[in-house]
């Protein structure tokens, strides 16, 4: 599989995107599991859309999600310079530069939205992040990803207590880290909080780190251009309530801010993930 990933990543980006878009279309017309989950999530998150609008968003989302995975393989197999060439515009750069001035460090909120792998090389031009990393169960895929990430200035730490301590220490030294906080955490690492109208079990890690360090917290997304000519980075100024020691207020605010970020291009969110598998009251959207 390692050789297959290497060879696939050598294809031109436009070819990779076209192939992935075709796969997304197949997922849509074949009534795949990915389509079913995406439909349920979009119906729950955007009830204000009519049936035709929801159907179109599902189709666009499946194509975009397929492209995100394929683009990530391309980025992992390419040089950092290639990734930098794909970034055409940076929106609200001042938010990022101002955040880096905080002596208590900076945390970037990075949902599973857009093609986040593209932005790593750009971030590494400005800072040396400490990033929590969970190895893939597939050893070949894990080797392929690690080779890419180790070409950058980032320090990878495990997604356990030792990794959290490393991120905390790095922030206290004025460092930078990014967290993807829109997953379902372990039982000890979350609370229920509204996300797109559903009271979903939500991670408390970023909120706890923010409250303890009083670091800067900003939003960051890498959005694919509609004409496939490249990607744009978007920085978001987020509410200071995320820094609150009131954990519920912080997580509620974080979820609301992620909704605002995702609404920039909702078709580029990872809607095939079972985000609403654990809802308040023991409910599961998918059962």
Q: What is the per-residue pLDDT across 108-124, written as a single tens digit (0 to 9) for each?
A: 999 999 998 999 999 99
Is position 287 within any domain? no
Q: Which residue has the tokens 């969970």?
A: 134
Is position 169 within any domain? yes
Is position 275 within any domain? no
Is position 274 within any domain? no
SS (H, E, C) the chain: CHHHHHHHHCCCHHHHHHHHHHHHHHHHHCCCHHHHHHHHHHHHHCCCCCHHHHHHHHHHHHHHHHHHHHHHHHHHCCCHHHHHHHEEEEECHHHHHHHCCCCCCEEEECCCEECHHHHHHHHCCCCCCEEEECCCCCHHHHHHHHHHHCCCCCEEEECCHHHHHHHHHHHHCCCEEEECCCCCCCHHHEEEEEECCEEEEEECHHHHHHHHHCCEEEEEEEEECCCCCCEEEEEEECCHHHHCCCHHHHHHHHHHHHHHHHCCCHHHECCCCCCCCCECCCECCCC
Is position 286 within any domain? no
Is position 210 within any domain? yes
Count the domains in the chain: 1
Q: Which domain holds residue 214?
A: 2-268
pLDDT the model gives residue 133: 84
% the chain with pLDDT above 90: 86
Question: Residues in the chain with pLDDT < 50?
Answer: none
pLDDT the model gives residue 147: 81
pLDDT the model gives residue 67: 97
Is position 280 within any domain? no
Tens-place pLDDT, residues 72-90 = 999 999 999 999 999 999 9
């Amino acid at each position: 599989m390692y050789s297959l990933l290497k060879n696939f990543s050598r294809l031109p980006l436009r070819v990779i995107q076209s192939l992935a878009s075709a796969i997304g279309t197949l997922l849509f017309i074949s009534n795949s599991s990915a389509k079913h989950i995406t439909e349920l999530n979009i119906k729950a998150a955007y009830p204000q859309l009519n049936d035709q609008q929801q159907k179109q968003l599902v189709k666009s989302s499946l194509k975009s999600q397929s492209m995100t995975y394929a683009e990530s393989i391309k980025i992992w197999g390419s040089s950092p310079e290639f990734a930098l060439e794909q970034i055409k515009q940076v929106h609200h750069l001042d938010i990022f530069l101002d955040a880096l001035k905080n002596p208590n460090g900076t945390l970037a909120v990075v949902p599973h939205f857009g093609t986040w792998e593209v932005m790593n090389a750009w971030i590494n031009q400005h800072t040396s992040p400490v990033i929590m990393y969970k190895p893939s169960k597939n050893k070949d895929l894990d080797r392929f990803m690690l080779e890419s990430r180790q070409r950058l200035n980032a320090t990878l730490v495990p997604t356990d207590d030792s990794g959290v301590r490393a991120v905390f220490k790095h922030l206290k030294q004025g460092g930078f880290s990014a967290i993807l906080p829109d997953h379902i955490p372990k039982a000890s690492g979350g609370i229920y909080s509204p996300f797109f109208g559903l009271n979903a079990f939500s991670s408390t890690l970023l909120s706890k780190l923010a409250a303890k360090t009083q670091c800067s917290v900003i939003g960051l997304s890498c959005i694919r251009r509609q004409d496939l000519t490249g990607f744009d980075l978007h920085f978001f100024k987020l509410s200071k309530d995320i820094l609150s020691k009131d954990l519920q207020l912080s997580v509620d605010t974080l979820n609301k801010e992620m909704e605002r970020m995702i609404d920039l291009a909702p078709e580029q969110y990872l809607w095939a993930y079972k985000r609403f598998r654990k809802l308040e009251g023991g409910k599961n959207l998918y059962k």
